[in-house]
Amino acid sequence: MPPPPRLLFLLVMLLVVAAPGAPVFGANAPPEVKAEIDALLMFRSGLRDPYAAMSGWNASSPSAPCSWRGLACAAGTGRVVELALPKLRLSGAISPALSSLVYLEKLSLRSNSLSGTIPASLSRISSLRAVYLQYNSLSGPIPQSFLANLTNLQTFDVSGNLLSGPVPVSFPPSLKYLDLSSNAFSGTIPANVSASATSLQFLNLSFNRLRGTVPASLGNLQDLHYLWLDGNLLEGTIPSALSNCSALLHLSLQGNALRGILPPAVAAIPSLQILSVSRNRLTGAIPAAAFGGVGNSSLRIVQVGGNAFSQVDVPVSLGKDLQVVDLRANKLAGPFPSWLAGAGGLTVLDLSGNAFTGEVPPAVGQLTALQELRLGGNAFTGTVPAEIGRCGALQVLDLEDNRFSGEVPAALGGLRRLREVYLGGNSFSGQIPASLGNLSWLEALSTPGNRLTGDLPSELFVLGNLTFLDLSDNKLAGEIPPSIGNLAALQSLNLSGNSFSGRIPSNIGNLLNLRVLDLSGQKNLSGNLPAELFGLPQLQYVSLAGNSFSGDVPEGFSSLWSLRHLNLSVNSFTGSMPATYGYLPSLQVLSASHNRICGELPVELANCSNLTVLDLRSNQLTGPIPGDFARLGELEELDLSHNQLSRKIPPEISNCSSLVTLKLDDNHLGGEIPASLSNLSKLQTLDLSSNNLTGSIPASLAQIPGMLSLNVSHNELRGEIPAMLGSRFGTPSVFASNPNLCGPPLENECSAYRQHRRRQRLQRLALLIGVVAATVLLLVLFCCCCVYSLLRWRRRFIEKRDGVKKRRRSPGRGSGSSGTSTDSVSQPKLIMFNSRITYADTVEATRQFDEENVLSRGRHGLVFKACYNDGTVLAILRLPSTSSDGAVVIEEGSFRKEAESLGKVKHRNLTVLRGYYAGPPPDVRLLVYDYMPNGNLATLLQEASHQDGHILNWPMRHLIALGVSRGLAFLHQSGVVHGDVKPQNILFDADFEPHLSDFGLEPMVVTAGAAAAAAAASTSATTTVGSLGYVAPDAAAAGQATREGDVYSFGIVLLELLTGRRPGMFAGEDEDIVKWVKRQLQRGAVAELLEPGLLELDPESSEWEEFLLGIKVGLLCTAPDPLDRPAMGDVVFMLEGCRVGPDIPSSADPTSQPSPA
């Protein structure tokens, strides 16, 4: 009778009153408690807490920290003794501040996402008894003295992390539980573990990278219950001294490289329950003690599979608790070990992968508790004993790859708990027993490679849990019944290699979970494929080869987006290959050989980027081989033989770098054999026979290192067979039926041919000499013209420069054209944002991109001056047409996208992109800018230095600095990093307004090959950025352009603009411009900073203040630490006249006076 509610209430109240509550300190908390609160809050601040588990950690709480989630305090003192926050997805590093919790006894942060190292300061918490940090992402080593300092530690679990380094060699004597598994520890197992951790009960070092041997000293651990060393690189033998671990329950040494024997003394440890030494290199005999009996009656599980044991010592008796015996994958032979029938409690018996012979004895029926019986991969003969039907608990039966004969036992139908039945690779005959329909729990039925006959029993199709059905390579006949659609859970159906006939039933469309369908090799399946087949969303593998299916090649397969393997070979399909197959993103194998497919190869197949096999041989395909197939980078086998393909072999096919087999024989291909085929370094088979190929055999084919088979016979090839190919493939049939081919291994001599070739060479040599002479003459004339043009250009530049101050400022800036329309509508147009100009107009305006029209040469290409018929003058940047490997620099779509984006970046102090052109021709990439008639800042500074700086007065220098800073600030605000700020990239329009140029072009000049090379080189070297003298040291070291690097480069340009000094070394001193300016300031020699053209500045004038302000801004921008450099927006603010930040220290600081606001 339950107690009355009033009594329950009193009991609860009594417990509440009696329970020691958390102390309430409020604002009067002792200093040591406040220190623990601060440490915990610091710990929380370093973590990301997605579940807000620590959101209630409030320092103002009266009972803090004892009332916080995950914490426990000692009664009365308020000192934290437990911190437990498991399974909360916490991420971040563990704060060293936790070492302030000096009374902490338990730390549990397991099953989170913590990273970083284990703080060494935790070793100062001497009260710690248990540490649970398993299943995180902690890394780094464990300090050697870390565990030894925790003198009260009993449990230490850091399994499932990324820890590395050696295993600690010293441990506290109180340690009982140590788990370092599933990390990356290396080195050897410390031999002194038993000396320092004498109380150890659990030791798990599995799944690391430990080498060496198993220390014999581990046998001194008398209290050890569990020793797990699986999955390492241990060698040597199993030490017999382990038998001294008299309390050992579980010994697991699986997955190492241990040799020698299994010591009988280790197997006979009286307390041992689980012995696991699988997957080593042990030899000799399996000791009788491994099966329990008199010496050890506690053994339950024996796992010795995956070794090289050659015999078993038969035990006198078996352990009464023996449940699992795993002897698989050894070298055991002889008859079935019938003495195992005495283990009445056996649940798993695995003898697979050995060399047992003879018949399986009826005594196997005595194993009534058996759940798994695995006998596959032996040489058992005879029939399966009917007594197996007594094993009523059996769930897995594996008899594959033996020599069993007779009928499949009908008694299997009585084993109602069977889930998996594997009978393949035997000689079973007769029909499939209908009694198998009683196995309602059956999930897998596999009987391939037998001699089963008859129809499929209808009882099979009531097995609602069946997911795997393989009846391949038998002699089954009849039609595939419509009731197959009842197997709703089926995932794999393989009926290949039988004699089924008729059509595929439409009910197959009910198998919505089907992933694998193999109906190949029936010969008599016919008709059209049911439309329902194309509605199976999970289908990944389809093989219908070797049947009599007809009709057009089914386009419905293109709707199966998960499809990876499609084999339609050896049928009677007609029509063309569906182009929609090119939209199957996962397709890896497409085989439709030996059909009647006609038409051209669809170019869309090149979209199947994962395709590894394309086999369309023996059809009626016509037309060329698409060059787009070069995009199939994963293709390993291309077989288009025995068709009617024509034209040339596309040289682009050499881009299929993974090709192993290339068969194009028996077509109508012409032209020469592409020499680029030698780039196929993985090619093993090349068959180009029975075509109309002409020319000579490329000698470079001999450079393919792994080519095993070559056939170029029955063509119209001529010339001498390359000597290396002739000696490598010495069979004449390889080169036969080419009338004009000569040289070994053919009997045709090459003397007459060589004379003909010699005459041709002489004629070509004479022609070459004439061409070279004419070319040299043209080059001399061209150089003279270039020198003349350069002198004319220099004279015009000087004339314009000298007249700058006399020119009036016009209302508009720049000489960019708003554009005019062209009469030739059919000409390809430049994409102009405000006008219409054709490519033909641009070619004419630049005189076909003549060298005389080159304005500058930069790292992004050549800049041409374009003078159009209507008077418009523009600057045309022509990007490099091809990379070193001959590939187009950038794909057209990407170029257009980048150009459109760059065209939106507009500012009065930036060179604005007015338009672009992306072909045709396909390798032409143009960018259109306003023409800047007054050159660049570098030229202007050079001319100023020759005339004592008088052509650049102070107002002009100040406006140049201000304009460049505004342009660069706008770039940074738009998310663009320039990366190469220098005087050569500061251009002047007709009004001497400065324009920052050469930005945003990096994405337009990177090829795929260059990107891969840059990624590979990044592991060993940094990328060069910026220009020498202007690039920031931090940006050069990192190999990456940054905003801070742009600020540094601007500071160098600013100092050069103000002082007239170059940024490099001066007067042989180890001193750059920044150090030189600082030295002059420290000496008080401010006048030394002035260029001769600025000596007229009055020290009492505002222009003097502006000059000093500019020097100060330049030094701030070139600060060594990137974090100390101002943003470009702040630089603009300072150059416009506002006060600068903190003063630059110097002994005589003339710049310390207030700057004008």
Greatest CA separation for the chain = 123
Q: Are 423 and 403 in contact (CB under 8 A)?
A: no
Bond before 554 cis per omega within 30 degrees: no
| CA–CA distances in Å: residue 626 to residues 50, 369, 600, 687 | 53, 64, 9, 18
1019 contact partners, CB below 8 Å, separation of at least 6: none
Q: Which of 909, 1047, 911, 1046 is nearest to 978 (CA)?
A: 1046
Residue 565, φ and ψ in degrees, nearest 5:
-135, 120
Annotation says 38 is catalytic: no
Q: Are 883 and 893 in contact (CB under 8 A)?
A: no
Q: Kindly report the CA angle at 772 between 767 and 774, in degrees rounded to 5?
A: 95
Q: Which long-range contacts (CB under 8 A, 24 or more apart) does 737-742 make?
A: 737/713, 738/712, 738/713, 738/714, 740/716, 741/697, 741/717
Where do we find the tokens 């396909």? 922
DSSP single-letter state for residue 461: G
- Please state, in angstroms and rounded to a whole number, the distance separating the CA atoms of residues 731 and 720: 16
Buried b (16+ CB within 10 A) or exposed e, 680-699: beebbbbbbbbbebeebbbe
The catalytic position among 473, 518, 980, 998 is 980
Where do we find the tokens 């008694």? 411
The residues that bridge with 543 in the sheet, in sequence order, are 518, 567
| Kind plus residue range of the DSSP H or E element containing 844 | helix 839-845
Bond before 173 cis per omega within 30 degrees: no
| Kind plus residue range of the DSSP H or E element containing 807 | none
Q: What is the dihedral of CA 612, 618, 624, 627, to 10 degrees?
A: 10
Sign of the torsion formed by the C-alpha atoms of 510, 511, 513 and 515: negative
Q: Which two tokens stand for residue 1067?
A: 């007067």
Position 475, amino acid:
K
Beta strand ranges found along 465-612 (DSSP E): 468-470, 475-479, 492-494, 499-502, 516-518, 524-527, 541-543, 548-552, 565-567, 572-574, 589-591, 598-600
Q: Which of 660, 667, 620, 606 is nearest to 638 (CA)?
A: 660
| Helix runs in 209-341, H state only | 264-267
Residue 243, φ and ψ in degrees, nearest 5:
-65, -15
Catalytic residues: 980
